[in-house]
Amino acid sequence: MNRKEKKYYLELLNREKERIFKNLGYLREGIESGEKGIPTHIADYGTDEFEKGLGIDISDEERKILEKINLAIEKLEKNTYGTCEACGKKIGASRLRALPYARYCIRCQREKEKGGR
């Protein structure tokens, strides 16, 4: 994955993060005043710090997604982003674009969904 791609996915991930923060009502003020994006100190927060710092009651679903996003950003930094955690194959670009924090390729995801429940 080249630098341009990495930057692209990082932006997707940050946008997704932003969407969750927005859902939590945290960003409303900034958006109304025309401010763009998450303040950097918030964007850098991990999920725990985020919750502690803001005292926000965050749902399990949102927490899970935030964790996945943070994990994906970590993987981008370690250059392991875009690789399936189960089979080690590359995750398709179209899947990553739709779900930038995907941890598994579509095949493994389906397997997991079948076996998991």
Tell me how far apart the alpha carbons of residues 100 and 15 are, in angstroms, rounded to a whole number.
10
Task: Tell me: does residue 42 bind Zn ion (CB under 5 A).
Answer: no
Position 80 contacts Zn ion (CB under 5 A): no
89 token code pair: 């194959």
Beta bridge partners of 83: 90
13 belongs to the binding site for Zn ion (CB under 5 A): no
Q: Is 38 in the site for Zn ion (CB under 5 A)?
A: no
How many Å separate Cα 27 from the centre of its chain? 17
Q: Is residue 113 part of the contact set for Zn ion (CB under 5 A)?
A: no
> What pairs with residue 90 in β-bridges?
83
Residue 3 and residue 73: Cα distance in Å, rounded? Answer: 14
Instruction: Decide whether 28 or 112 has the Cβ nearer to Zn ion.
Output: 112
Q: By rule CB under 5 A, what string of x and - marks binding of each residue 83-102 to Zn ion?
A: -x-xx---------------
- Using CB under 5 A, list all residues that contact Zn ion: 84, 86-87, 105, 108
